Structure 1
């Protein structure tokens, strides 16, 4: 499942979530003598993806109603780091992000666990450069400035690409920026490259002035997309987590088969919409992407490789044991 495009800045997410703090995991009575309805708080999915379709056509509500649950759309989807903080603060129950951001978030007393995984994106993430930049190899980045999001996908992709070529990380200047604030800096030429994922790369590629120097497949990326659940919520409502997983899995299979049906879900105009070449590129990328699946032993090995790499690169002080923060969704009931 592709990470949704943010609708507002990270601050808007946290502000919106804060308003719901007092609600906790409050449940509403469905009537005298009836069981209370479980509310699951999920970031608003925006204009694309499985959850966006589920919100619009009511299919997610219908699926969750079978386990006596309903959705409260809370804030907006965006980078995982602030979402992890919201999970830890009992302001959110479900969030999606990368294993790379996940590893850094796991180093901070996490109150969440991962229960589903989508294989690394082979074509939608990578290192962008301008077509006329003269940067044609990873070695050409030496002495250059590359925009990355600290501790997340961008920093991982850059460090992985450099390590694959035996280039010391300090030979390239990392410019730490939030992903939703980087396009203007990149297009103004204030950085020479941008390590980024599909949420943002598609728009840049669609404008026709940027190209991938390397993509995820070239780098050998282990950057899975993961779905997290607040630990206390999973302990109290495993049946809801299982139902949500089933919905996401089945939806992701359909999305891969017919990507266009999951684009421009609520509007086909304005900054939230994909049009022209960008839409064509997104459809192509989604068709080559993965689907939401249970976490397997093989996945865990790759998760741990990311954690080890981050420790080696001093992104985290120590190697995080990812296995302590995973749920086997196949065993939930």
Structure 2
């Protein structure tokens, strides 16, 4: 299970992060920001981005099951802002304006290269079916090799840039043979569909609608690329130290609910509404159901996961995405040791 699915130029990441951080912090409560307390002095508030219309957290919000699970440890959720890119969420955790967020190991590594105030506490295996290099039908691009001399949209330092670089490396193609166009993922669809870029390195959050339209497909998916792009849940370090049992209860909820979602994906779509821009309908709904059924579930981070995180960090350093290899292992929590 993954938490809810969220024109950037190369010079705009700081502005994007600041804008999203303001959106997150503006929605926070003064109680949560000042001491992590909820409506009562003894209740711990867990600040999580609003989950939107689909996914485990959306259903947990609607039916109250998440609060019920956390109440056993004296906690409750304070929904704040909205789910989106991990970079601004990481900044919000660093600023004590958010307690929990989700992101990929790739975006996590670039955030860890700063001064992180968070740690990762769960892992979902890489999405072999739902992420990859998207091309328009009839584009003439039949393989990764056909990307040479073309423009590919990616989100800088995150999943998109990783998928493209990984695909090129596996095909033995120098990275500079393909032009990376840095765009915000939530603004890329229009550029992609207008033909201003030739391909889009992207994940299920945005790929589902494009594939569901019947006008695009993956020229290489996560499995073909050999992606190690795990989805991770992060928690603010101070929060985890102060409330380890709450973090463990949240993990248990996500693990159990994610297994249910995998068995019956359709039940976790269109939780609040089946119409409008947040609804998944038509062929896109079938695509999403298929991707979720093939996906992983929330699990503790084990030794094998840590090795693969290190490999991604080494790859990012080799590709000059980060200045040096980031020590991911220093920022991991062992759920089994939280008491």
Q: Are residues 1:265 and 2:275 paired?
A: no
Q: SS at 2:35's partner residue?
A: coil
Matches within 5 A, 1:292-311: 292-311=298-317
Aligned partners of 1:273 and 1:192: how far apart in 2?
A: 27
Matches within 5 A, 1:148-227: 148-227=154-233
What residue number does 1:139 align with?
A: 145
Kept after mapping to 2: 8 A contact 1:13/1:76 = no
User: How much has 1:243 moved relative to structure 2?
Assistant: 0.3
Aligned partners of 1:28 and 1:251: how far apart in 2?
A: 24
What residue number does 2:81 align with?
A: 75
User: How much has 1:24 moved relative to structure 2?
Assistant: 3.5
Kept after mapping to 2: 8 A contact 1:25/1:40 = no
Q: SS at 1:314's partner residue?
A: coil
| CA-atom RMSD in angstroms | 1.4
Q: Are residues 1:18 and 2:21 paired?
A: no
- Residues 28 and 133 from structure 1, CA distance in 2 versus in 1: closer, same or farther, beyond 3 angstroms? closer
User: How much has 1:160 moved relative to structure 2?
Assistant: 0.2
Matches within 5 A, 1:287-326: 287-326=293-332
User: How much has 1:16 moved relative to structure 2?
Assistant: 3.3
Q: Are residues 1:5 and 2:11 paired?
A: no
User: How much has 1:10 moved relative to structure 2?
Assistant: 7.0
User: How much has 1:25 moved relative to structure 2?
Assistant: 3.3
Aligned partners of 2:35 and 2:220: how far apart in 1?
A: 43
Aligned partners of 2:144 and 2:206: how far apart in 1?
A: 21
**Structure-2-length-normalised TM-score:** 0.94
User: How much has 1:12 moved relative to structure 2?
Assistant: 6.5
Kept after mapping to 2: 8 A contact 1:24/1:91 = no
Q: Are residues 1:88 and 2:94 paired?
A: yes
Kept after mapping to 2: 8 A contact 1:202/1:281 = yes
- Residues 3 and 65 from structure 1, CA distance in 2 versus in 1: closer, same or farther, beyond 3 angstroms? closer
| Matched residues, number | 327
What residue number does 1:241 align with?
A: 247
Aligned partners of 2:296 and 2:39: how far apart in 1?
A: 39
User: How much has 1:5 moved relative to structure 2?
Assistant: 3.4
Kept after mapping to 1: 8 A contact 2:60/2:66 = yes
Kept after mapping to 2: 8 A contact 1:13/1:77 = no
Kept after mapping to 2: 8 A contact 1:21/1:90 = no
The match for 1:283 among 289, 303, 312 is 289
Residues 149-169 of structure 1 show CA distances to partners (whole Å, capped at 9, x for unaligned) of 000000000000000011110
User: How much has 1:4 moved relative to structure 2?
Assistant: 1.6
Q: Are residues 1:119 and 2:129 paired?
A: no
Q: SS at 1:182's partner residue?
A: helix
Stretch moving more, 16-25 or 156-165: 16-25
Aligned partners of 1:80 and 1:24: how far apart in 2?
A: 23
Q: Which runs of 5+ in 2 are unaligned?
A: 7-15
What residue number does 1:46 align with?
A: 52
What residue number does 2:37 align with?
A: 27
Q: Which runs of 5+ in 1 are unaligned?
A: none
